């Protein structure tokens, strides 16, 4: 049984850097201190612990740009290799990268680990500078796709995501993605990093925008399902902020909250729709949005 952990205390961080030095620096005769670089404070660090709490793997990720995450310093204790632990630590770092809003992960892989990264979906892009002037490396990259979400009607969902990013550019800047659609529920996610305020939580204006887009997306997909089309506009929106958003921003709209007169649209009239969207932080709803939308018939 292995667990993924974040080293936080002074002792945990000391053990973490010692482990990194032991498996990534000492075998090549590099001095203590060479295991650290200038990105440590802006990086997210993870370890894999065995049942006794001993570190068996480590790794680090930081953002190069708001879209691209750099994965570095992955190592697994020699006695635990080829047991899938490399994949566990890499998977954990990729999830952190997604949560930060990245859509691509890059790594400069030593020659000896290229097969490992290739087995985990990375592709070689080009030669990378030698590590500490000695070890040959290749730059590899991977598109980060979320496999854990259930997405029904993937074609319409891809169309919706494209429409948001092309027609409502703020959605891309906010890192908004359609995470899940089940015909009954839609869930979007955003990047906290890209929407952060002075307090390190999500900016209230971004919460409103994510809620509006989520409701808009629910209507878009409902129209597709009913074979209808029209222009969706927000007529009125109200939001109550109960608590701050401190983790990955999630917004969810349930079909039960949707009240629509779709039959009016079929008759060529504009269709009123009211719905509610919850903003979720971890497992708690921390803001609620009530929206009144209109779908305007498209004139031939
Ligand atoms: C590279 C490293 C992290 C892989 O860790 P690991 O726990 O052994 O990897 P996994 O067991 O999760 O391997 C997953 C898959 O990757 C591939 N793979 C892993 N190590 C491999 C190797 N040495 N040669 C070829 N393929 C390899 C295999 O396809 C493997 O699946 P399989 O065992 O079912 O065949 C580990 O060997 C290591 O710490 N190496 C030294 C440090 C290092 O080079 N780190 C990378 C810095 S750029």
Do 279 and 293 meet the contact criterion of CB atoms below 8 Å apart? no
Give me ligand 1 centre to Cα 31, in Å: 25
Residue 300's pLDDT is 64
Ligand 1 centre to CA of 141 (Å) is 16
Other beta carbons within 10 angstroms of residue 56's beta carbon come to: 21
Q: What's the 113 CA to ligand 1 centre distance in angstroms?
A: 6
Over 90: is that where the pLDDT of 71 sits?
yes
| pLDDT at residue 50 tops 80 | yes
The pLDDT assigned to 102 comes to 85
Name the CA dihedral angle for 116, 105, 154, 222, rounded to a multiple of 10 degrees. 150
Write down the pTM of the prediction.
Answer: 0.67
List of long-range contacts for 95-98, beta carbons under 8 Å, 24+ apart? 96/44, 96/46, 96/61, 96/69, 97/61, 97/63, 97/69, 97/71, 97/144, 98/144, 98/146
pLDDT tens readout for residues 76-99: 999 999 999 999 999 999 989 987
pLDDT at 126 (0 to 100): 84
User: Can you tell me which atom of ligand 1 is nearest the CA of 112?
Assistant: 44
Q: Convert the pLDDT of each residue in 206-217 to its tens digit.
A: 999 999 999 999
Question: What is the average per-residue pLDDT within 170-185?
Answer: 90
Q: What is the mean pLDDT of the chain?
A: 92
pLDDT tens for each residue of 137-150: 999 999 887 666 66
In this prediction, residue 135 has a pLDDT band, given cuts at 50, 70 and 90, of confident
């Amino acid at each position: 049984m292995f667990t993924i952990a974040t080293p936080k205390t002074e002792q945990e961080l000391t053990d973490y850097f010692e482990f990194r030095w032991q498996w990534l620096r000492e075998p090549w005769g590099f001095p203590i201190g060479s295991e650290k670089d200038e990105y440590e404070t802006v990086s997210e660090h993870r370890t894999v612990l065995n049942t006794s709490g001993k570190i068996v793997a480590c790794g680090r990720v930081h953002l190069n740009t708001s879209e691209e995450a750099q994965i570095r310093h992955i190592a697994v204790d020699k006695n635990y290799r080829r047991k899938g632990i490399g994949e566990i630590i890499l998977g954990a770092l990729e999830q952190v990268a997604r949560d930060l809003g990245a859509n691509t992960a890059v790594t400069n892989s030593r020659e000896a680990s290229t097969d490992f990264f290739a087995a985990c979906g990375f592709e070689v892009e080009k030669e990378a500078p030698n590590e500490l002037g000695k070890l040959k490396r290749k730059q590899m990259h991977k598109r980060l796709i979320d496999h854990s979400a259930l997405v029904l009607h993937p074609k319409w969902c891809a169309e919706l995501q494209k429409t948001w990013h092309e027609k409502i550019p703020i959605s891309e800047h906010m890192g908004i993605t359609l995470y899940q659609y089940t015909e009954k529920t839609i869930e979007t996610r955003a990047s906290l990093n890209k929407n952060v305020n002075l307090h390190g939580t999500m900016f209230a204006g971004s919460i409103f925008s994510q809620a509006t887009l989520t409701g808009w997306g629910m209507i878009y997909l409902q129209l597709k399902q009913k074979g209808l089309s029209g222009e969706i506009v927000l007529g009125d929106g109200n939001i109550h902020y109960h608590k701050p958003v401190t983790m990955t921003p999630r917004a969810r709209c349930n079909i039960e909250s949707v009240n629509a007169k779709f039959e009016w649209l079929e008759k060529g009239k504009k269709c009123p729709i009211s719905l509610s969207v919850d903003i979720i932080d971890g497992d708690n709803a921390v803001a609620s949005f009530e929206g009144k939308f209109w779908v305007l018939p498209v004139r031939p």
